[in-house]
Amino acid sequence: MGEIKDLFQTADWKVEKHVPVISLPDIEKKDELVKITVCVGKEIPHPNTTEHHIGWIELFFLPSDAKFPYCIGRFEFSAHGASTEGPNTSPIYTQPEVVCTLKSGMTGTVLATSFCNIHGLWTSSAELKIED
């Protein structure tokens, strides 16, 4: 039997279109708002068609020296060109990119996961540095 941790894939986002890319400031002040952007397909666009799309992105924060992460949010993408006329006929196609803002009093790791309906689960992480 497999474990869920074994299902997550990673790669360099500059050559793989499925990796969630986390963008955040190099360093932030304690208890100030931090803007975090996560997108899939930053360097190489993901198709985001009815047949091949990103269904969701989840974002977590793991403070340094903590055992468990905080769930920041889950963002679902529902419009992939499907309509009553058939696949890829709708004028609406979602782009898998989210922006969220949070406040933290400590340094830690931002973790992102995403799900492609064809290529499965992907993950990446970035360090959030907080100065005192």
Please state the domain count of the chain.
1
Mean pLDDT of 16-32: 91
For residue 73 the two structure tokens come to 């949010």
| Domain span at 19 | 4-131
Q: How confident is the model at residue 1 (pLDDT cuts 50, 70, 90)?
A: low
CB 97 within 8 A of CB 13: no
* DSSP one-letter string for 65-105: T-SSPEEEEEEE---BS-BTTBTT-SS-B---EEEEEEE-S
Give the percent of the chain with pLDDT over 90.
77
Active site (catalytic) residues:
16-18, 46, 52, 116, 119
- pLDDT of 88-116, one tens digit each? 999 999 999 999 999 998 999 999 999 99
Q: How confident is the model at residue 3 (pLDDT cuts 50, 70, 90)?
A: confident
- pLDDT of 28-80, one tens digit each? 898 899 999 999 998 889 999 999 999 999 999 999 999 999 999 999 999 99
CATH of the domain at 109: 2.60.40.730
